[in-house]
Amino acid sequence: MIERFNGRIADVLRTNRFDSAASLKATLRHFVYLYNHHIPQQNLHYKTPLQTLQQWYPQQPQLY
């Protein structure tokens, strides 16, 4: 999962041009938000990372 995330971040960095550090930071924050909240992951049974964490919490609250 980490390798896929890193690969997607690499694609974002390769396909965008940033005029400042603030622009880069904003783009990365937006991508991380989209990845965690809106992009379902196959290895999470087509749920987003946030949905998976919300499902796990009631089962194992000591992890949080």
Q: Quick one: pLDDT band at residue 4, thresholds 50, 70, 90?
A: confident
DSSP structural state of residue 41: B
**Pairwise CA distance, residues 1 & 27, whole Å:** 21
What is the structure's pLDDT at 1? 72
For residue 49, pLDDT beyond 90: yes
Where are the chain's structural domains?
2-63
What is the structure's pLDDT at 61? 87
Rg (alpha carbons) of the chain, rounded to whole number? 14
pTM for this predicted structure = 0.76
DSSP structural state of residue 47: B
